[in-house]
């Protein structure tokens, strides 16, 4: 079995390593072009590219696979794929849309009732959270379970038949980064199992349910700003969902501060006797265990923070360098405008 592999981040590299460890022949890797990274913003290869080069696998990095855009690199990449004649294309968090022509390039593997040419490792229990950011949206929504779906690709957005699926519980403390690592390990195991079962003629695709469809839109940097007018429980989930990207943040005294760990409490906003209840975003208490902030419902305890140009710090260390007073107000750009 000759495999073409398309993927970019560490999630995909885990699956590629599993295929290699299982003895499969990966004849070519498609991955995103090198991107600037680090303080110096030097071009850095993605994890999948680094792994492929370590194993001497041919690497293609087109910026698009759409022929109509007419890029010479696209035509070269498609010609190389065709010449290599893979049996199947395995896709994991590639980051580029795959047009019908690419999905039809592999020769295909036999399945009950047909063949499969392209297989995707998707980090959700389809049809829930089709799209670009299933892990982030699952945590943000408060889902208690997620998982991996190995699916047969078609021209739709994660709409193809299901080949294999396995669920895991979402830990109440898990960030998107931690959950992604867990799902990467699961996805790596399931893709090897799927290929083995296809070889044995034991895998039968089934259509996705028509009910329960939801879409995991791409995460934008603007979503990072905390709106203290939401509930503490909602904001705690967003802090976890946006770790490691883009990192939840708010503003204090004109300085943007990242919030990397926080917990919701059911305690009502604390105010001095006879005063109005604390407005959302008001600091209620400051201590070694964190900064307690009033929300629309409940309070949020900020436990790990980061100033621009610094590193993540526990609340005790952060406050030693950046004191925060009780009664101070966290704001977002929109709230600053509203107050003027």
Do you find a cis peptide bond into 47, omega within 30 degrees of 0? no
CB of 246 within 8 A of CB of 252?
no
Q: What is the mean pLDDT of residues 256-260?
A: 97
337 compared with 135, residue with greater pLDDT? 135
Neighbours of 124 (CB within 10 A): 25
Q: Is residue 116 within a helix (H) or strand (E), and if so which, with residue range?
A: strand 114-116
pLDDT per residue as tens digits for the range 136-157: 999 999 999 999 999 999 999 9
pLDDT of residue 335: 55
Q: Does domain 221-339 have CATH number 3.10.25.10?
A: yes
Six-digit token string for 172:
């109440």
Fold of 2-216: Rossmann fold (3.40.50)
pLDDT per residue as tens digits for the range 183-223: 999 999 999 999 999 999 999 999 999 999 999 999 999 99
Q: How far apart are CA 88 and CA 109, in angstroms?
A: 7
Same fold across 2-216 and 221-339? no
Nearest partner of 324 among 235, 266, 259, judged by Cα: 259
Q: What are phi and psi of 84, to 5 degrees?
A: -75, -20
- pLDDT reading at 70 higher than 60: no
pLDDT of residue 268: 57
Mean pLDDT of the chain: 92
Domain ranges of the chain: 2-216, 221-339
């Amino acid at each position: 079995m000759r495999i073409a592999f398309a993927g970019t981040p560490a999630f995909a590299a885990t699956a590629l390593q599993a295929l290699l460890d299982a003895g499969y022949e990966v004849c070519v890797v498609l991955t995103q072009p090198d991107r600037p990274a680090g303080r110096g913003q030097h071009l850095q290869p993605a994890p999948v590219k680094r792994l492929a080069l370590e194993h001497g696998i041919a690497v293609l990095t087109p910026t698009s696979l759409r022929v109509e855009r007419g890029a010479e690199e696209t035509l070269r990449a498609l010609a190389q794929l065709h010449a290599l004649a893979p049996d199947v294309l395995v896709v994991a968090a590639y980051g580029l849309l795959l047009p019908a022509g690419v999905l039809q390039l592999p020769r295909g593997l036999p399945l009950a009732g047909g063949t499969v040419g392209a297989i995707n490792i998707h980090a959700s229990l389809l049809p829930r959270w089709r799209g670009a950011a299933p892990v982030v949206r699952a945590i943000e929504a408060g889902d208690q379970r997620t998982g991996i779906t190995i699916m047969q690709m078609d021209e739709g957005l994660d709409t193809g038949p299901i080949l294999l699926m396995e669920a895991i519980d979402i830990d109440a403390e898990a960030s998107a980064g931690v959950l992604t690592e867990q799902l990467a390990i699961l996805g790596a195991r399931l893709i090897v199992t799927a290929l083995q079962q296809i070889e044995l003629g034991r895998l039968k695709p089934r259509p996705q349910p028509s009910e329960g469809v939801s879409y995991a839109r791409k995460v934008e940097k603007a979503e990072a700003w905390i709106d203290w007018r939401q509930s503490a429980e909602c904001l705690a989930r967003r802090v976890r969902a946006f770790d490691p990207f883009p990192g939840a943040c708010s503003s204090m005294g004109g300085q943007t501060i990242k919030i990397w760990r926080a917990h919701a409490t059911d305690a009502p906003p604390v105010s001095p006797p006879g005063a109005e209840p604390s407005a959302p975003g008001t600091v209620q208490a400051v201590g070694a265990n964190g900064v307690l902030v009033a929300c629309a419902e409940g309070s949020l305890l900020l436990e790990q923070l980061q100033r621009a140009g610094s590193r993540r710090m526990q609340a005790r260390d952060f406050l030693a360098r950046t004191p925060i007073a009780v009664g101070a107000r966290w704001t977002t750009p929109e709230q600053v405008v509203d107050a003027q």
